Amino acid sequence: MVEVAETRQMKSARLDLFDNSEYHPGPWMKRLIWIFFSGIFFQTYIPWPNALKTVLLRWFGSKIGKCVVIKPHVTIKYPWRLIVGDHVWIGENVWIDNLDTVTIGSHVCISQGALLLCGNHNYQKPTFDLITKAISLDDGAWIGAKAVVAPGVTCHSHSVLALGSVATTDLAAYTVYQGNPAVAKTKRSIHE
């Protein structure tokens, strides 16, 4: 009976009061044009040439290095908030939900179905306020298939986030992480 009384006194979520007006991801026309180009060249299984995709990303404000491979059916929310180094691989069905800046170093592999999520909501507020934080994948990092990188996380140099794992805190350099939430399992050693 006490639990019922406590529950009645607690505030409720009020999604009808959600106000996202302070968040400005870019001009609406630019976003609309990007949706069109993204649908044709990125969110499709047509294997358009990587050179074409990188040129399009640069047109929309991305900073893209050389020899970047972007497989078919990749979602990039806002290319003007994307920085990519050299020799990066982005696999099929990757979703870069860059409500904030996503910085990807050189020689990074983002495997199939991985999610880079820069946004979340404040569940302690009845208005469910939007929270955004940048993500950084340093040189040599590998994000495994179906793995998730949460807002504000840095995956340091040559860290590995294993298949299906969820990174909610920073990953140390040259360390392999696994699980939900991801925990350090072993050191990564690279042999010639």
* Model pLDDT, residue 8: 60
* Model pLDDT, residue 192: 84
Q: Is residue 139 part of a domain?
A: yes
Count other Cβ atoms within 10 Å, centred on residue 180.
12
Count of the separate structural domains present in the chain:
1
Q: Is residue 96 part of a domain?
A: yes
Count other Cβ atoms within 10 Å, centred on residue 11.
8
* Model pLDDT, residue 102: 98
CATH of residue 128: 2.160.10.10
Note down the domain range covering 41: 27-187
* Model pLDDT, residue 164: 98
CB 142 within 8 A of CB 108: yes
pTM over 0.85: yes
Per-residue pLDDT tens listing for the chain (192 residues) = 556 556 566 789 999 999 888 999 999 999 999 999 999 999 999 999 999 999 999 999 999 999 999 999 999 999 999 999 999 999 999 999 999 999 999 999 999 999 999 999 999 999 999 999 999 999 999 999 999 999 999 999 999 999 999 999 999 999 999 999 999 999 999 998
Q: Is residue 13 part of a domain?
A: no
CB 52 within 8 A of CB 41: yes
* Model pLDDT, residue 176: 98
| Separation of alpha carbons 104 and 122, rounded Å | 26
Q: Which two tokens stand for residue 97?
A: 């939900």
Q: Is residue 121 part of a domain?
A: yes
Q: Is residue 88 part of a domain?
A: yes
* Model pLDDT, residue 152: 98
CB 180 within 8 A of CB 166: yes
> Comparing C-alpha atoms, which of 101, 191, 97, 87 is closest to residue 141?
87
Q: Is residue 83 part of a domain?
A: yes
Q: Is residue 6 part of a domain?
A: no
Q: Is residue 20 part of a domain?
A: no
